[in-house]
Each structure stands twice: as C-alpha cells, then as structure tokens.
C-alpha cells in the first residue's frame, strides 16, 4: 500500500470521493473524525460500505476506537459483518494490545462466518508516551499484523508539546525519535512501515518532500488526510523503470550466483544488503502492478 486515505466513517459523500481518489486503501474512521453522538451511524455506514465494495476497489481499512475507549466492542460488532480487510488500532501500546485486538477480531470472525485470520491489523504505535517504550514488544505479537504506522498529533498532546514541527516545517527531536523507532519496530516485526499524515494538505511541495524523505528512510507508503494528496503519495512511492530494472539485475545475479559476495552492477558495488533492498523494491513494484 502506497497511499492510505483517511475518510470520516459517517460521511457517505466523502467515502464516495475516497473510492474514486486513486488511493490504494481507504481508512474508514470511527475514531477522531467522528463525534460520539455519530458513532452508531458511522458504524452502520461503514458496514454498508464494506458490503458494497466491488472488485478493484481500494482496500478498506477501519480505524476503530482505542482499546481503553469503551467503544471498541461496539465498533467491531458494527463493522465485522462487512468483512474489513484490516482493523487499524489507534493508541496501540505494545504487543499485548495487538494480541488483545486479535482475540477480539477472532471471535467476531467466527460469529460472522469469516475465514479465521482473514482480517489483518495495522497498529498506530507511537501515540502515547508508554507506547514508545513498548515498541520492541510488537514483533511476533500476531500473525494478523501486516503494517505499522506512527502518529505525531496525539503524541504532542500527550507530552504537552506546543508543536511537533519547528519553524522550517521539520519534526522536532521527540517526534523524529518516535518516527525512527516506529520504522525500526515495523522492520523488526517484518511488516510494512507506513509514514504518518502530512497535515498541511495544501502544501504539495512539502508533502512531496516528506514523501521522498520517508521513501529514502525505508517507509513504503504514507497516510493521507485529503484526496488531493493521493496522487503525490502514489507517484513518490511508485518505483520508476530505472530503479526496477536495476533491482531486477541484482536479484537475478544473486539468484544465478547464490554464493557470491560483493559484485559490481551498473557501476555500483553490490552485496547481500543491496539484495534485500532490491527484493523490497520489486515487491512494491509488483503491488503497484508494474511487474509480474
């Protein structure tokens, strides 16, 4: 997934626009973007959206409320009959939370005649201070986990930060640390690392620059808060033809020469860590339909 677009779960018009946005996935939100009085209606609308999905539509993810919110049971009861591709867990505070959500999902899969294990989990893993210290517990916590992302807005409130970016627009040190640790946690868990939202949705240049930095550092996609951000995110996280060709050469060489050490390919010294990078790039290219 390159682009994951947040959509308020109680707004059918915005959901329709999201479905036509070109996003790889929609995050149908039941948490922050939905008022408490609207949550029952949002669950109904989200379930109807899930049931009405068509082949070729974006992957449909539901962000439920946090485990401690008192809302998550109703959220899952309301949306699991529609068979969401993934449940996004906000304010995840470590592997135990992922396991807890997995158990809640498993019960509802059985109740709704869904295949055991078909519903994946995406964790938002840096929204509270304690979550930062428990990132290392996420690896191995659940086979359902297939992506991990991080959040800067809730974390800023939790630590009392006046802002999470400096005057240049760059994240300040606490949030750079959270971003880096989330990337490491995703890699340790062998799941997709997804970068957080860029809230200045009118700043296309800033978004593109942040996407390029995220791709450079190892993130494979980015969340969006506005349909206009989707095309930029997709463009940056889609490997170009030259990169695909170079990666294919690396993979083919080591396939033909499994005992090789360091070799020169296209003027670059390449070894096994480069093979891992090449395999990951080709996986992204396959996901984007660029290679077979």
Alpha helix ranges (H) inside 141-226: 153-159, 173-189, 204-217
Same domain, residue pair 205 and 269: no
Q: In the Cβ-directed half-sphere of 130, how many Cα atoms lie within 13 Å?
A: 7
Band (37; pLDDT cuts 50, 70, 90): very high
Percent of the chain with pLDDT strictly greater than 70: 100
Residue 79 lies in a domain: yes
Same domain, residue pair 32 and 137: yes
Same domain, residue pair 124 and 263: no
- Mean of pLDDT values over 67-92: 98
Structure tokens at 226: 């506005």
Asked if 144 and 121 touch (Cβ cutoff 8 Å), the reply is yes
**Is the four-CA dihedral 110, 113, 115, 121 of positive or negative sign?**
negative
* Residue tagged 């800023």 (tokens): 156
pLDDT at 64: 98
Same domain, residue pair 134 and 226: yes
Same domain, residue pair 203 and 113: yes
The Cα–Cα gap between 33 and 88 comes to: 14
> 49 or 56: which carries more pLDDT confidence?
49
Q: 122-172: per-residue pLDDT in tens?
A: 999 999 999 999 999 999 999 999 999 999 999 999 999 999 999 999 999
Residue 209 CB contacts under 8 Å (≥ 6 apart), including other chains: none
The Cα–Cα gap between 171 and 221 comes to: 18
How high does pLDDT run on average in the chain?
A: 95
Same domain, residue pair 61 and 126: yes
The Cα–Cα gap between 198 and 259 comes to: 44
In the chain, the number of structural domains is 2
- Residue range of the domain that includes 46: 3-237
């Amino acid at each position: 997934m390159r682009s994951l677009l947040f959509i308020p779960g109680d707004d059918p018009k915005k959901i329709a626009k999201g479905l036509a946005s070109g996003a790889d996935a929609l995050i149908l939100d039941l948490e922050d973007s939905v008022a408490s009085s609207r949550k029952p209606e949002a669950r109904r609308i989200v379930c109807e959206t899930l049931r009405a999905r068509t082949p070729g539509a974006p992957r449909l993810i539901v962000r439920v409320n946090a485990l401690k919110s008192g809302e998550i049971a109703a959220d899952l009861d309301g949306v699991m009959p529609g068979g969401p591709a993934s449940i996004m867990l906000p304010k995840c505070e470590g592997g135990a939370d992922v396991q807890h959500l997995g158990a809640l999902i498993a019960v509802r899969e059985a109740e709704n005649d869904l295949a055991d294990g078909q519903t994946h989990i995406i964790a938002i893993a840096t929204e509270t201070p304690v979550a930062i210290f428990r990132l290392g517990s996420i690896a191995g916590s659940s086979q359902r986990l297939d992506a991990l992302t991080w959040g800067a807005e809730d974390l800023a409130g939790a630590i009392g930060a006046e802002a999470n970016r400096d005057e240049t627009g760059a994240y300040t040190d606490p949030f750079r640390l959270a971003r880096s640790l989330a990337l490491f946690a995703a890699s340790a868990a062998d799941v997709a690392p997804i970068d957080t939202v860029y809230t200045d949705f009118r700043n296309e240049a800033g978004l593109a620059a942040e996407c390029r930095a995220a791709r450079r550092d190892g993130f494979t996609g980015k969340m969006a808060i506005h349909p206009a951000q989707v095309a930029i995110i997709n463009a940056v996280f889609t490997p170009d033809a030259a990169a695909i060709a170079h990666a294919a050469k690396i993979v083919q060489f080591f396939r033909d020469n499994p005992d090789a050490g360091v070799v020169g390919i296209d003027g670059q010294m390449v070894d096994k860590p480069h093979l891992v990078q090449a395999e990951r790039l080709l996986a992204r290219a396959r996901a984007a339909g660029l290679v077979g």
